[in-house]
Amino acid sequence: MPSTPAAERIATYADMFSAMGTEARLRIMRLLLSAHPEGLVVSEIQEELEIPNSTLSHHLEKLKTEGLVKVQRESTFLRYTANTEALQELLQFLYAECCTRNKAVKPQDIVQICK
């Protein structure tokens, strides 16, 4: 079956959701979003979430590979930030189906949940 741009986007979004599909990675994403736009260095993430360093590195690498976080070297430290553009795209993808086409979810209900 030939790949289409829509199918490729869905596969990308599925990979992004999969990357956030563990408790630890979801906690990392929430923490990085709370620290946006400055982000956090690895030691700050580790201290806050109490995830062992080797495990944390694995989780951060998976999130980076799927484009959910950005990393920047600062001297000997790595600073991670949430890739809000990628998250916005992911949420827009869901929103387009559930809240506009068939109105399965009312947009104002989503906004209320977020408050």
- Domains recognised in the chain with CATH numbers: 5-82 (1.10.10.10)
Give the residue from 52, 7, 51 showing the smallest Cα distance to 26: 51
pLDDT over 90 percentage in the chain: 65
Predicted local distance difference test score (pLDDT) of residue 96 = 74
C-beta neighbour count of 39 within 10 angstroms: 20
The model's pTM is 0.83
Apex CA 32: angle with CA 68 and CA 15, to 5°?
20
Segment 58-107, tens digit of pLDDT: 999 999 999 999 999 999 999 999 999 999 999 888 877 666 666 666 66
Cβ count near 49 (within 10 Å) = 15
